[in-house]
Structure 1
Amino acid sequence: MKVDFYNNFTSEQLMTFGVFWNVLPMIAGLLVHLAFSAAVFNDANRLQNEQGNLAFVNAWLWSLAVLVGGVFVALAYWVIHHSSLAKH
């Protein structure tokens, strides 16, 4: 006896299932961008208050750059401000 998975669902149910699994990674990516952006904003504000300046731009622009660019821009922020390369 062969059981066909797709014969038990309507085309609308299959379309909803497909859309859900395609949108889920986008929502996860958006949440990651928001979290990294908020973390960079908090850290940049702290650095700005303690040291008086940041490399290149202020906290708002670093946060906006991370919001748009994601993890790679957050990595660049960390390298510029917190790595051993930044200390030299």
Structure 2
Amino acid sequence: MDFYINHLNSNQVMAFGLMWNILPMLGALLVHLAFSAAVFNDANKLQREQGSPVLVNAWLWSLAVLVGGVFVALAYWVIHHSTLARR
């Protein structure tokens, strides 16, 4: 059985390793961008309907989600849309 691993040179092995290290980072970047865009749209909708989002404006919530990711998006949801926000 020949697995062709012996036929790869060191540059090909490095490129393969870099690809598998970069793919999760690209996935995380896409998730951050998607959540940030969703929060921005929702915060703008809240601003039109209720006056303004809690604590800061839509741009700052969007920037916070872009940097902080899913955890900041969860905090946004808890503050604005959970049953805790309705009390």
TM-score over 0.5 for the alignment?
A: yes
In angstroms, what is the RMSD of aligned CA positions?
A: 1.0
- Correspondence 1:22-41 to 2 at 5 A: 22-41=21-40
Aligned to 1:73: 72
1:44 and 2:43 matched: yes
Give the alignment's TM-score, normalised by structure 2: 0.95
Aligned-pair identity (%): 70
Which runs of no fewer than 5 residues in structure 1 stay unpaired?
none
Aligned to 1:62: 61
Give the alignment's TM-score, normalised by structure 1: 0.94
Aligned to 2:8: 9
Which runs of no fewer than 5 residues in structure 2 stay unpaired?
none
**Offset, 1:77:** 0.1
**Offset, 1:3:** 3.7
Amino acid at match of 2:73: A
Q: Which structure 1 residue ranges, 4+ long, deviate > 3 Å from structure 2?
A: 2-5
* Aligned length in residues: 87
